Chains A and B, each alone.
Chain A
Amino acid sequence: MTKIPIRIGLEIHAQLKTRTKLFCSCRAQTFGMAPNHYICPTCSGQPGSLPVLNQQAVELSIKAALAIGSKVQLESYFDRKTYQYADLPKGYQITQHRHPIARGGGLFIRSDGRKARVGIQRIHLEEDTGKLVYISTQKKTEALLDLNRSGVPLIEIVTYPELTTPEDTAQFLDRLRTLLTLFDICSGAMEQGAFRCDANISLMDQKGERSTTPVEIKNLNSFHHIRSALSYEANRLVADRNHTKNTLVETRGWDETHKKTYYLRTKPRGGYRYIPDPDLPPIRLSLGLVQQIKEGMPELPFNRADRIAKTYGLSIAQSEVFAFRPTLSDFFEECVRSFRHVSQVSHWVLHSIHPILNRQNREIHQTCLNPHHLIDLLKRVNDGRITDHLARNVLPELMEHGGSVQELLTAKGVEPITSQKQVEDLVRKIISSHPRERAEYNQGRTNVLHFFIGQVMKATRGQAEPIEVRKAVEKRLKEV
């Protein structure tokens, strides 16, 4: 099948990790808590209540803006988005329509092996809605309302329609999610709805222009759903010849069980009747505050990747791993500072330590491994005191329990093979004690070679380097 030319734009909703809700002092992190326990007159939309802005949410959204290179607007406003739905007790959602808190920015992904930039249009601050819980019995389905989530601060990040494949989309979202988690802006828990996304997809003509109105797919909350829903929808759009430039913008949902999208609604007629919220003054920020937040932030991942690639001569793929693992990257840099075998260290960090961390879902500082351990280990390998193989075997234990490398090796009962000479002596001894096998070898049965290697390895309890042993055995057998 040829690739379908599509354009995908995203609207990502990320819940901010604030202590309280956006406009009241109710607890914000309530996933899995008893329903309707964390509500007050303001977030339940009681007549007469008023919203008061949470400063922490503003700071976190500034942080998000800085993280993706978006320009923070020093003056932004709240608007009311009016629509009627059961999970919206006020009858409107407080959001930023005309003047969002940040504009512009972008994030890099690897598309077809090349670095590609996905442009960000805007970031705005808004409140989450309540949640409808459906309870089905055999006779009927009932909807229950839980307002714990109502008023939880969200940032909505809107991208330009610049993504071209479902895979790129998933990668972009993964990077964005990692970024927001990294800076402690959002928990990133997709299964809890803390990071979710609406995608709009449209077909393109040969000139690279949109040939259909976009279709919006709502509430995609796992990377798997995003990939399957977008692929399905792209194929559906190609098949549906009635869908043209003039079709109304339509919203669809994703049905995971039947693996298909289904019609939800078209946009409300007359739009959302946006009006500036008269209950909230504009957000006015000082350059000083933005600067202060910027200084308090760790190095941005893409700056880090560029710097590491340049300083240590690593490949883009290697440095990008470090971009999103700042603790691992700090660990690497500290090792390299006192132990200058850069490629050896990076190889160990990326191919030995990184997979273990991934498997255990931990960060390097959560293990017992420190840079001295690794340097000690690598020095021993380079001096030939232990083998690479053995060092790799010791590593998980070091990460788990720490301690000194020497003690660990002794505890394992390992007397390190110190020299080539020792191996050669051992080989000589073993060959002379097995005259029958040796005779077989001389008669042309070269397989016996493996028998000797095995014997030597057994005698060294696996500490000898098999290649070296093989060489020594071959040499000895030929000599005699």
Chain B
Amino acid sequence: MNFTLLFSICLFPFQPMGECFVPNLPHSLESMIHLQEKGTLHSSDILRHTKTVIQNQDPQVHCMLFVPSMDHNPKDCDGDNRVVFPFMASDNILALRTPTTCGSKIMRNYISPFDATVVERLRKAGGVLVGKTNMDEFSMGLTTETSGFFPTSNPHDLQLTPGGGCGGSAAAVASGIAPVALGSDAEGSIRIPASFCRVIGYKPSYGVISRYGLISPCPSLDAIGLICRSTRDAALSASWIMGPDHKDATMGSETIDLLEAIESSVDSLRLCLLEPSNAFPMDFQIKESFDRAVQTLRKTGIHIQKEPFISYTTLRATHHALSCAEAVSSLSRCFSYARNTDPSSLRELGLEVKSRILFGTLCLSDPDGAQALHAARCLRNAVSRRVCALLKRYDAVISPTTPFLPPKSGSHPVELNTFAVLANLAGLPAITIPMGPEQELLCGLQIMCGPREDAKLFQIARQMERILGVDLP
């Protein structure tokens, strides 16, 4: 693969391509909106350009499952707001009258009967849905290889996987198709692909962004989040989709202002590194870059300290048992749909989904399984209490996003979610930013804050972005 070509695509994603020529398309969502408000950029140019990028990029990266006709409907947005921006959603988020397959063949004919709350709110802010992106079947996977349709490639190196479950979203944002993509994060499914594709991946606190319209296998661990090209873009788009929603009973009632303090640094920042009791496998390169990043941060006077913590293996096992057990009932409506419309399609259900459903069923029916599940629930509570207590003493917990670099396709690593699952178990907000300025460094730095401290999370992320030199020009 011609690496330099891809390299240039990533650096200058809005370079003229194909027959259409749009000069100076901005890098970020923010400037895209700013230029439209100034009147120097027209909405039709943006959409035409998006189409061209999809035509050029998608045949190599395979990130799109469905590309709708991109007619902007002025009725969707508020009054005089003529500003538009393209966005994508991973294929487990419902968007009216588009197919929603969850990356599974058993759902290939399912057409969404309504808009997810997040989609509705983005449309209201001027968003135009330009694609439903590829994902692991029912988000069960970490490399987008379990997708029932085709695997997605990492746009930085087509030999590599983009990470998963929402690999399509991350790859599409990295390919410059659109500045915003919606995804869901139940086991790092946003943060892992975002770190592999060198973009920003944000998973909110539990109950901050409405889950109405998300087909989720494990609702208590899952959250809808965003993949963007910069922290500021993520904060801006998150501010549109956040806030109470009467359709989701697990939502909190207060609103969080993400943009107010995003540029101000946190004074005498105190960060925590978790030091698990057991050793765990990790790529040497990641360890090295992480240590370098920690040193850079320390040099600016940030206080960083290690704290003992429970083993990552236990965390992953806990997460696995809970998510599989929830999946049994949560996905049964999808299986009902398949049984009622095309029973033969159930034979095309992937191995990963089958094995997780079987494992979950075992946890729920067997007396031993029920005991294990009970233990998992207790562990989850204990771990949440422990990490929340830590986060009262520290501003944030930092770690690499993944212990490994993006794997080659077909290698099926299972421990990619080592650092990710803690945020899901405890319902904490977490964000991944590129770990260093080198463009070939495909790994991320994860920052995790206390429950509902999403505003502080963005503040810290923005601060680190500047220190590590990874922010957009």
Contact = CB atoms under 8 A, between A and B. Distances in A.
A46 B330 CA distance: 11
Contacts of A270: 361, 364-366
B171 interface: no
A313 interface: no
B8 interface: no
B26 interface: no
A84 B364 CA distance: 15
B220 to A, nearest CB: 3
Contacts of B365: 270-271, 273
Interface stretch (A49-57, A106-114, A206-214, A326-334): A49-57
Given A41-B113, A91-B329, A279 B219 contact: yes
B250 interface: yes
Contacts of B116: 48
B392 interface: no
B211 to A, nearest CB: 7
Given A270-B365, A275-B364, A278-B218, A49 B249 contact: no
Interface residues of A, number: 26
Interface in B232-272: 246-250
Interface in B81-100: 93-94, 100
Nearest to B222: A278
Contacts of A275: 325-326, 328-329, 364
A90 interface: yes
B332 A50 contact: no
**Among A82, A84, A278: residue with most chain B CB under 10 A:** A278
A293 to B, nearest CB: 22
Nearest to A268: B365
Contacts of B248: 50, 52
A252 interface: no
Contacts of A41: 113-114
Contacts of A46: 113-114, 333
Nearest to A80: B329
A279 B206 CA distance: 12
B249 A53 contact: yes
A270 B360 CA distance: 13
Nearest to B250: A281
A91 B184 CA distance: 23
A45 interface: yes
Contacts of B162: none
Given A275-B364, A278-B326, A48 B112 contact: yes
Interface stretch (B16-24, B43-51, B334-342): B334-342
A300 interface: no
A47 B333 CA distance: 6
Interface string B332-355: 111111000000000000000000
Interface string A339-377: 000000000000000000000000000000000000000
A47 B334 contact: yes
Given A41-B114, A271-B365, A275-B329, A89 B215 contact: no
B213 interface: yes
A50 B334 CA distance: 14
B110 A82 contact: no
Interface string A29-64: 000000000000100011111111100000000000
Contacts of A274: 364
Contacts of B336: 45, 84, 89-91
B225 to A, nearest CB: 16
A142 to B, nearest CB: 15
A55 to B, nearest CB: 11
B212 to A, nearest CB: 5
A273 B361 contact: yes
**Among A41, A46, A50: residue with most chain B CB under 10 A:** A50
B249 A278 contact: no
A274 B370 CA distance: 10
B294 interface: no
Contacts of A80: 329
Nearest to B246: A52
Contacts of B219: 278-279
Contacts of A223: none
A280 B249 contact: yes
A49 B325 contact: no
A433 B333 CA distance: 96
Interface string B185-219: 00000000000000000000000000111110011
A281 B252 CA distance: 11
B110 A47 contact: yes
Contacts of B212: 48-50
A281 B333 contact: no
Contacts of A48: 93-94, 100, 112, 114, 116, 212-215
Contacts of A52: 246-249
A89 B333 contact: yes
Contacts of B213: 48-49
A90 B325 CA distance: 16
B328 A90 contact: no
A90 B364 contact: no
Nearest to A79: B329
Interface in B303-345: 325-326, 328-330, 332-337
**Among A47, A80, A274: residue with most chain B CB under 10 A:** A47
B215 to A, nearest CB: 4
Contacts of A51: 249
A82 B250 contact: no
A52 B210 CA distance: 13
B333 A45 contact: yes
A160 interface: no
A41 to B, nearest CB: 6
A82 B328 contact: yes
A279 B249 contact: yes
Nearest to A91: B332
A232 interface: no
A270 B102 CA distance: 29
Nearest to B336: A91
Interface in B154-195: none
Nearest to A53: B249
A324 interface: no
A41 B100 CA distance: 15
Contacts of A273: 328-329, 361, 364-365
A52 B247 CA distance: 6
B332 A84 contact: yes
Interface in B101-156: 102, 107, 110, 112-114, 116
A92 interface: yes
Nearest to A45: B333
A330 to B, nearest CB: 41
B138 to A, nearest CB: 10
B119 to A, nearest CB: 11
Contacts of B330: 278
A52 B365 CA distance: 28
Nearest to B332: A91
A367 B93 CA distance: 59
A281 B249 contact: yes
A48 B93 CA distance: 8
A249 to B, nearest CB: 16
Interface string A250-281: 00000000000000000000110111001111
B335 A47 contact: no
B220 A278 contact: yes
Sorted from nearest, which 10 A-B pairs have the closest CB atoms? Answer: A91-B332, A270-B365, A278-B220, A273-B364, A278-B219, A92-B329, A47-B215, A48-B94, A80-B329, A48-B213
Given A48-B114, A52-B249, 6 more contacts: A45-B333, A49-B213, A52-B246, A275-B325, A278-B326, A279-B219
24 contacts: A46-B113, A46-B333, A47-B333, A48-B100, A48-B112, A48-B116, A48-B215, A50-B248, A52-B246, A82-B329, A82-B332, A82-B364, A90-B333, A91-B333, A91-B335, A92-B332, A270-B364, A273-B328, A273-B329, A273-B361, A275-B325, A278-B220, A279-B249, A281-B249
Interface of A: 41, 45-53, 80, 82, 84, 89-92, 270-271, 273-275, 278-281
